[in-house]
Structure 1
């Protein structure tokens, strides 16, 4: 790679430390060149050459930076993405893209007007568990798929000390935080649903944000349920797919986040490799014979997203996650809140 894209991170919290800086550091097409840290200066301890700024505005004034990663609290995404685009920078923004679909549409139009790349970091498209689910669906081995259930459960009674996560601010709560992952996967696999029904609740003591949701995406013959519950001690399968010919059951097994939190870099041996006991169970029928077997998945790798960003910027390849994809997710989130509030099916 001859061109190196100098990149700045808008914050160095968990997202910056785990999901962005390590990939920028080991990918030769990028340079982790700048970061916003108001006091701690943790980034320089691991990346001594990074330039530290005390505000996003100060970093955006750095003319050497081509790409900005907006990984600040959800309610600030619109403000900072808009400012970065107006400063002439390409932008990656963490999910959820924006709090409202209208905000997303405004930013997509601004990026198009300025001829800049705007991409949303829906990294769970690059999990090994999702990748094998997609492979099974595309193979047709289940026949016509009639029911799918996708879970992202936790056991977490205590509330987060991070106000931007659970402080009742715009764009907070389980549906925006975790539901955006599940909905992006569902929409990528099956398209926008014609209608949906949702039940969104608060179940933990003293919580002021949703920590439970069930959304039923209604297609013609297919029903896709996306579910999250913060009080699930014994996890259920993350993916359950049932078709006319068979079923596929898969645990949530991607290990990249755990590897990153241990301080590993994404060029480490066996990156994103799945343990055999996590393989998905396929039970179907082929040529009149019953087939019941465990399927190994390919390794997950969030670097594929950054490779896609590099190709889009340097070789004019397709944006790996264009804003239009992420706007669909926000539309469904808004419709789900309306459905839960009004107790009825919402037609999209």
Structure 2
């Protein structure tokens, strides 16, 4: 493939919620990435309504067999990530996979080895590294504004009391359920902040009557210095708690509300819009800490979120050799932790992780 003109031609597999809402609108804002083909297995070419220049095809091999396509983006249900990614890599394409990477750690390792063998890029769309609230938390931890962090809680509260059996995420399929869907984001964020934990303890359950997929998780990560990171989510929380709560030897940071980018994308807005990713002041987090010998209590303006930064990095990696931000090994680590958390939940015990 010839990338001498610094243009990366992209094929997208899937134009459901993930493809239409999170991927196509974001990657098309990056100069140098050109969306040229979209696989829509059914429907009437919905992607052409927003991107009239794209070619709609029915089969993924129409991307694999096209020598002009450099990068394949996979936004299918999680159950199919492994097979589509493997086919794309075997066809000589660079690959971006929607999270979660795969349904098993074994599948993830196989794809990593294949990408290395083929000398191709493989990355996973962990876009929530670029949530504004997480960018803010990351700076607070990096600058040690709370001293030594002693405990953290990451929450993702929802109120969805009815089971929607028409959605694949609410079935008993591999990779379904909210722990694979939402928990994988929190695991990735915890790894970014604190590295690999020593222990993991999970409580993963189905709360709603008639449910087949897990709709509740409470997972604790233990670290050698005594730090405990609690990750929790439920679909039966009507009054949401704080999104992030971090406590340390010098104080606390508590943040309510969820990054506004998803709602903006669902509303059809573009990441190129002015003020993109900026959060309303009412949702800014509260800092109560000793900073530079002074007791500081006040609001911290949330950093602007930027999902486009993920695809900008993918482009710069492919076109200019920049370091890849979301490496497949990092994404594989989250799948390993998911498996350990489910094991812990089944066995009712804390799992001690090997180094």
Aligned to 1:79: 83
1:186 aligns with 2:190: yes
Aligned to 1:23: 26
CA-to-aligned-CA distance 1:120-163 (integer Å, 9 cap, x gap): 00000000000000011111111110000001111111223444
Pick one of 270, 295, 298 that aligns with 1:265.
Answer: 270
Contact 1:239 1:252 survives alignment (8 Å): no
Whole-angstrom CA distance in 2 between matches of 1:231 and 1:155: 5
1:307 aligns with 2:312: yes
Q: 1:288 to 1:320 in 2, by over 3 A?
A: closer
**1:2 shift after superposition:** 5.0
Q: Scaled by the length of structure 2, what TM-score is found?
A: 0.96
1:22-171 equivalent positions in 2, closer than 5 A: 22-40=25-43, 41-171=45-175
Q: What secondary structure sits across from 2:204 in the alignment?
A: strand
Contact 1:129 1:251 survives alignment (8 Å): no
Contact 1:2 1:29 survives alignment (8 Å): no
Whole-angstrom CA distance in 2 between matches of 1:287 and 1:103: 48
Contact 2:252 2:289 survives alignment (8 Å): yes
Contact 2:287 2:299 survives alignment (8 Å): yes
Contact 2:10 2:37 survives alignment (8 Å): yes
1:343 aligns with 2:354: no
Q: What secondary structure sits across from 1:152 in the alignment?
A: strand
Aligned to 1:326: 331
1:161-240 equivalent positions in 2, closer than 5 A: 161-220=165-224, 221-240=226-245
CA-to-aligned-CA distance 1:166-188 (integer Å, 9 cap, x gap): 11100111110110011100111
Aligned to 1:12: 15
Q: What secondary structure sits across from 2:109 in the alignment?
A: helix
**1:39 shift after superposition:** 2.5
Whole-angstrom CA distance in 2 between matches of 1:191 and 1:162: 37
1:286 aligns with 2:322: no
Contact 1:152 1:182 survives alignment (8 Å): no
What number of residue pairs does the alignment pair up? 348
Q: 1:162 to 1:311 in 2, by over 3 A?
A: farther
**1:287 shift after superposition:** 4.0
Whole-angstrom CA distance in 2 between matches of 1:165 and 1:118: 24
CA-to-aligned-CA distance 1:62-87 (integer Å, 9 cap, x gap): 22110000110111111000000000
**1:216 shift after superposition:** 0.6
CA-to-aligned-CA distance 1:18-63 (integer Å, 9 cap, x gap): 1111122222211111111123110011111111110112222122
Worse-superposed segment, 245-254 or 67-76: 245-254
Q: Scaled by the length of structure 1, what TM-score is found?
A: 0.98
Q: What secondary structure sits across from 2:157 in the alignment?
A: coil
**1:96 shift after superposition:** 0.4
Q: What secondary structure sits across from 2:271 in the alignment?
A: coil
Aligned to 1:255: 260
Whole-angstrom CA distance in 2 between matches of 1:47 and 1:3: 21
Whole-angstrom CA distance in 2 between matches of 1:66 and 1:46: 22
Whole-angstrom CA distance in 1 between matches of 2:293 and 2:236: 42
1:3 aligns with 2:6: yes
**1:219 shift after superposition:** 0.5
Which ranges in structure 1 are unaligned for 5 or more consecutive residues? none
Pick one of 242, 247, 251 that aligns with 1:242.
Answer: 247
